[in-house]
Amino acid sequence: MSTQYIRQFRSHPRHKWYSPLLVLLLAGLFYGVGLIVQFGGFFIWALVYVEGAGGAGGSGGDFDAFADSMVGFNTVNGMVNGLISVILMWPAVELATRMVYRRWFWSMISIGRGLRWSLLGRYVLLALPVWVIAALVMIVLSPGAMGDLASGLAWSPHMAAMLVAVLVLVPFQAAAEEVVFRGLAMNVIGSWLRHPAWAVLIPVPFFVFGHLYDVPGLIDVGIFAVVVGALTLFTGGLEAGMAFHIVNNIFALGLGVLSGADMNATSGPAIETVISISVPIVFAVLVVLDTRRRQRTEESREERGNRKANQQTNSDLPTTTRVCTVGRAHDHREPRA
């Protein structure tokens, strides 16, 4: 496990001890401006389309009803509003890092190489079967978990719009949380403190209390944060955390929409919490095994390449023939007088 990922701020030529603080302050400022613009846009939308169009958005022309629909995840407006408010953290971090370090944070998603798309896809493929199995186990052990799915889908335009919002926005929302709570936070801590455990553990409470759950749910989120933080160190980038976070949130919100569950619920059955805690741990084990297997394969390939190169070098050496003369050479001396 390398600490190189969390030293990217510290190793930068423009780094000063206070530089990460400036990044945090500027990111907070830019995020605040982004939220103002976002809510201002929704307010204008409400005035034009809700009041003027007599109820677009399912509010019946009532501005107060529209405002209520913006809170929580049980409506399309609320879903879109909530996800966008999280997504805005990412560009805020990008702008702040650019101003202080003269580089985009995108280049820090992995160690100096940006987002490794092939690894992201690989980790998504690892996370998908883990969550599929977890969902099936949840259906068996907690029949009420899937709600209306057991009796068939009651398809509606509202459900379709909710699913579109989930599929389009959740990947950016989950990636934004990884950029902030693993990428930025771990690099800030890693620029000041030597031991990598601090970079993993200190951001955890900030991530946990950004979620409104009961105590078991918060413990679940905390374990998730620790596991994903450790994977960030192990893999040298955010791809594993992004992949799992994206799949996790799409399953959680998507199944919630399909089953007609209360998307604002803050608690759930104990068995569901246990399953939810086990999923990131299983995923982490798969990532570690996959990474070590790929490392062994690469080492074996390099060894074979080195052997071939040595054999080629030896075969290219010129052949030399040594001629040996038999006997001793005779001295030709003048006879003595």
The domain ranges of the chain are 8-108, 109-299
**Other beta carbons less than 10 A from residue 275's beta carbon:** 20
Contact between 228 and 241 (Cβ < 8 Å): yes
Contact between 170 and 250 (Cβ < 8 Å): yes
Write down the pLDDT at residue 55: 46
Reported pTM? 0.84
Write down the pLDDT at residue 275: 92
Query: How would you label 50-76 residue by residue, b for 16+ Cβ within 10 Å and e otherwise?
Result: beeeeebbebeeeeeebeebbeebbbb
Could you tell me which of 6, 1, 18, 321 has the C-alpha nearest to residue 190? 6
**Other beta carbons less than 10 A from residue 202's beta carbon:** 16
185 CB burial (10 A radius; 0-12, 13-18, 19+): buried
Q: Quick check: helix, strand or coil at residue 237?
A: strand
Q: Tokens in use for 64?
A: 């107060």
Contact between 138 and 51 (Cβ < 8 Å): no
Write down the pLDDT at residue 319: 54
CA dist 186 → 193, 208, 237, 332 (Å):
10, 15, 11, 87
Write down the pLDDT at residue 263: 75
Give the integer Cα–Cα distance in Å for 79 and 249. Answer: 13
Write down the pLDDT at residue 144: 64
Which residues of the chain fall short of a pLDDT of 70? 49-64, 143-153, 309, 312-337
Write down the pLDDT at residue 146: 61
Contact between 233 and 196 (Cβ < 8 Å): yes
Longest pairwise C-alpha distance within the chain? 139
One-letter amino acid for residue 145 of the chain: A
Write down the pLDDT at residue 266: 72
Write down the pLDDT at residue 227: 98
Contact between 210 and 221 (Cβ < 8 Å): no
